[in-house]
């Protein structure tokens, strides 16, 4: 999971993506996050976990410890702070699946491949992305809102 400054910035600037994150809610625990959500709050990366887990279970690929947010933290605690949702790769892929791709994932990979395989106008230039999350985020935003990342913000792609 990408927790780099670049990915955090890309997600923070992706207001359309942030609007898609709808907190899980039920009568017993209103306004909770979905189990496994990755959040950036006050300079720290949190993984939301409904069940208690040990910190050794939640380290990134470089061994950096990620903090755990629990149901107790979720109840109104984050509503007063700026929370940036960092979608995982599987969450990003769900945002662009259509039709048969729900059953045949290779169709989705084919669409991604076509989007990055040439330098044709409107395609994603994959050389600037350093993780699969960054690449998939760029693909989702291009597919759904016709925007591209200019290293500072998401801008509308000129036709």
In total, how many domains does the chain have? 2
pLDDT for 118: 63
Do 141 and 129 reside in the same domain of the chain? Answer: yes
How does 21-33 read in b/e, with b if 16+ C-beta sit within 10 Å? bebeeeeeeeebb
- Cβ atoms of residues 136 and 124 within 8 Å: no
Domain that holds residue 47: 22-85
Give the pLDDT band (50/70/90) at residue 53.
low
Residue 75 lies in a domain: yes
For residues 64 and 93, membership in a common domain is answered with: no
pLDDT digits (tens, 9 = 90+) for 89-128: 999 998 988 877 777 788 888 888 888 876 555 567 656 8
Going by C-beta distance under 8 Å and a sequence separation of 6 or more, which residues neighbour residue 88? 1, 36, 38, 133
Q: Are residues 31 and 48 in the same domain?
A: yes
Are 30 and 80 in the same domain? yes
User: End of a domain among 46, 66, 85?
Assistant: 85
Residue 55 has pLDDT above 50, yes or no: no
Instruction: Show which of 39, 64, 85 is a domain's final residue.
Output: 85
pLDDT of residue 47: 80
Alpha helices (H) in 21-99, listed in sequence order? 71-74, 89-96
CA distance 75 to 38: 16
99 contacts 123 by C-beta, under 8 angstroms: no
Instruction: List pLDDT tens digits, range 23-40.
Output: 555 555 545 567 788 888
Q: Structure tokens of 16? A: 């359309």
Q: Which of the two residues, 123 and 9, has the higher pLDDT score?
A: 9
Q: Distance between CA atoms of 138 and 115, rounded to whole angstroms? A: 10
Q: Is residue 11 part of a domain?
A: no
């Amino acid at each position: 999971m990408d927790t780099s400054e670049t990915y955090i910035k890309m997600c923070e600037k992706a207001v359309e993506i942030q609007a898609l994150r709808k907190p899980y809610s039920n009568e017993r625990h209103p306004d909770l996050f979905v189990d496994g959500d990755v959040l950036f709050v006050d300079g720290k990366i949190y993984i939301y976990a409904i069940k208690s887990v040990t910190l050794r279970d939640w380290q990134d690929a470089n061994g950096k410890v990620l903090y755990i947010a629990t149901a107790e933290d979720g109840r109104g605690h984050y509503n007063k702070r700026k929370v940036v949702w960092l979608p995982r790769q599987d969450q990003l892929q769900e945002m662009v699946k259509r039709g048969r791709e729900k059953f045949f994932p290779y169709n989705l990979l084919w669409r991604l491949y076509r989007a990055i395989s040439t330098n044709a106008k409107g395609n994603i230039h994959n050389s600037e992305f350093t993780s699969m999350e960054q690449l998939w985020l760029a693909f989702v935003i291009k597919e759904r809102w016709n925007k591209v990342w200019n290293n500072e913000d998401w801008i509308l792609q000129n036709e």
